[in-house]
Amino acid sequence: MEPHTGYGQTVAKIILFGEHAVVYGHPAIALPLTSLRMTADVTPTGGTAQESTLSGLGWTGRLQAAPARFASIARAAEVASAFAGHPDAGLHIATHSDFPPERGLGSSAAAAGAVIRGVLDAFDVPATRQEIFELTQQAETVAHGRPSGLDAVATSADTPVHFQGGQPTDLDYALDAWIVIADSGEEGSTLETVTHVRSRYDADPAATSVVLDRLGAITGEVVDDMRAGDIADMGDRMTEAHHLLAGLGVSDERLDAMVTAAVGAGALGAKLTGGGRGGCVIALAADEDSAHRIEEALVLAGARATWVHAPQPGTFAGEGAR
């Protein structure tokens, strides 16, 4: 078949528990946000890879001339073209995203995953889930340094993911709580915060391990909470995880203030999500009314956008970008 415009799609994710600790082999739980999509239309142009162009995610022009933050998209196009047997193919890549980049919602993995799927589709080359994961990881290495793989998995999942040691497993529970997601409006760099935690670990492995171990243990306790439907305990663990992450130096004043505002407005718990130091917080609510009260409090505390995730895995009750 002749090359044609290929299509790739992925979704946003939130990490409920275990960010940063997952890089050190601890377990983590992430939730795909299936109504916040990232899409890529990829058209082979007949030119060379050097001439490939991107429109979307805040850049229109040649991929090679794009700022450093687009390097992982360029890498995604490169590794997928090579996998498809067209290493020097010129491509036009058009992306669309329902969610902001650099906010801990998995934009870099989602963009890489969508572009990779789009390239493979354009050349009609099949790939297994594992092969696509490995290609996405190659792109993510440019964005993150040493990614755990959690973002690459969660941004292409349909159901909540439990992840440890590079291995995902589905979680077969129904989370009977609402989750409010609030964007601080500040960009965060996962590479920067992962590097920060690494340097703390190298400087004081014993003290840093105590914190990472506790973050890992929390994820285990939360799996039990979810099975038992104990959302109050899960909320407590959420706020505890935020304070541990803040202790590791990956929170900031605005995220701390948003966590305090959410808990003050009745959240069962709240924490930063993803890399931190900018990005989003998540808050756990017992019911829909409470979720909306928490949302209002988060907007008053400076949130630029909020989304409310309903109890059923993978569905949204409503989204409102403010």
Where on the chain is the footprint of ligand MEV (CB under 6 A)? Answer: 15, 19-20, 22-23, 104, 144, 147-148, 150-151, 190, 194, 274-275
Dist CA 94 CA 103 (whole Å):
21
Closest CA to 133 of 111, 113, 163: 113
Nearer CB in complex with ligand MEV: 109/122? 109
Query: What residue type is assigned to position 166 of the chain?
Result: G
Closest distance to ligand MEV from the beta carbon of 147 (Å): 4
Closest distance to ligand MEV from the beta carbon of 65 (Å): 27
Closest distance to ligand MEV from the beta carbon of 146 (Å): 7
Dist CA 135 CA 54 (whole Å):
19
Q: Which residue is nearest to ligand MEV (CB)?
A: 148
Dist CA 71 CA 250 (whole Å):
24
Closest distance to ligand MEV from the beta carbon of 144 (Å): 5
Identify the three-state secondary structure at position 165: coil
Q: For residue 188, count CB atoms less than 10 angstroms from its CB and return exposed for 0-12, middle for 13-18, buried for 19 or more.
A: buried
Identify the three-state secondary structure at position 114: helix
Strand ranges in 105-145 using DSSP code E only, listed in sequence order:
none
Structure tokens at 271: 């924490």
DSSP string, 267-292: -SEEEEESS-SSSEEEEEESSHHHHH
Dist CA 105 CA 184 (whole Å):
12
Q: 């941004």: which residue's tokens? A: 155
Structure tokens at 80: 């997928």
